Amino acid sequence: MREIVLDTETTGLDPESGDRIVEIGAVELVNHMPTGRTYHQYINPERTMPQEAFEVHGLSDEFLADKPKFAAIAGEFMEFIGDSRLVIHNAAFDMKFLNAELKWAGYAPLPWERALDTLALARKKFPGAPASLDALCRRFGIDNSSRTLHGALLDSEILAEVYLELIGGRQPDLVLSERRVVADAVSTDDDWRPTPRPAKLPPRLTPQEAEAHAAFVETLGEDALWRKFS
């Protein structure tokens, strides 16, 4: 199964008010594993960059002046995504912009049902918890220290890691085979034993959650079971 994890940067919030896409980044997954294939393109929006948008992604009028217009790259973009499912954080925003740009370039819109919204997925899995990309990176211990400004390719690469965690880890479809070949010898499942994890998983609790839990345990008294196991 092929999926495309995708992100865009724009001049604002509403294409119907004249806002345009200025950057597209995308990462290819096959069977929920990154293949190393990516798509990245800066785009001349044919309008000036509002200061508020510049402060988000740092893409200036001068930088974008010699970049291609969307119509010039629409074909290669559509070829890259093909008919794959699109994994997007806050999919309604990016799909709205992509379909506006495609319409203006003379292309058919992307069906909304092709998009899988990781924002909705996170809110369903962790109701009431923060679900921004930065918050999910903190939850899953994903390094996003290089994300000082928004960037479409960097954000799509980070989102790919977040998405794989949201659906259960890097190999959610992994099924242990009935027989394994190890060092040219065949062994059955009955022979197999798990080996120790080479490195501990990063903690999922934030420091604030750990502190709140410790404070709660203090209220349970000296005989609390938590004290016997911590």
DSSP label at residue 198: S
State residue 41 phi and psi, 5-degree precision.
-155, 130
- 122 vs 167: CA distance, rounded Å: 10
150 is catalytic: yes
Query: Residue 147: how many CB atoms within 10 A of its CB?
Result: 15
Single-letter residue type at 213: H
Catalytic one among 32, 57, 89, 150? Answer: 150
Contact of 7 with 163, CB cutoff 8 Å: no
SS3 state at 29: strand
Single-letter residue type at 165: E
Single-letter residue type at 119: L
- 194 vs 196: CA distance, rounded Å: 7
Cα end-to-end distance, the chain, whole Å: 43
CA distances from 40 to 3, 73, 76 (A): 16, 11, 11
Annotated catalytic residues are 150
